[in-house]
Amino acid sequence: MKKILLLFLLALSFSSCHVCLSKPSGRYDQHFNNVENYIDFKDDGTYYHFYKSDMGELKNTGEWKMSDDNNCIVELYDFKTFNEEGKYKDFGSYALWVDDHYLNDGPDGETSLSFEKVDKQ
């Protein structure tokens, strides 16, 4: 009986682990308030970021890599954008959490500010 209980607890602990097995690849769009905002991840470790709204247009490129500390975080270097209020932000480095088809601003999952994977058709 003790062996069964131990195996059950062990299986339960593994089922609660969240392991990210994929890296971002391709285009991810962010949808809010008539703003065009996307990041295109290249397999060579670079990205292209495009942002356009009534406040202005921004294009920038940089490098990305999966975090050494957490395999569910992608780190973007030389990241620049406008925030929801239209204010320019130069983050230097910026982290996004990888969650299936979404890139999120935090570990809590999809929000209105998440980037969604664009499937090629």
CATH of the domain at 44: 2.40.128.360
pLDDT digits (tens, 9 = 90+) for 17-32: 455 657 888 999 998 8
Closest among 33, 44, 78, 84 to 59, alpha carbons compared: 78
Q: How many domains does the chain have?
A: 1
pLDDT digits (tens, 9 = 90+) for 77-119: 999 988 767 778 899 899 999 987 899 988 888 887 899 999 7
pLDDT digits (tens, 9 = 90+) for 24-69: 889 999 988 788 999 999 999 999 999 998 878 999 999 999 998 8
Task: Identify the pLDDT of residue 56.
Answer: 84
The answer to the question of residue 37 being in a domain is yes
The answer to the question of residue 36 being in a domain is yes
The answer to the question of residue 29 being in a domain is yes
Range of the domain at 77: 23-117
Task: Identify the pLDDT of residue 75.
Answer: 95
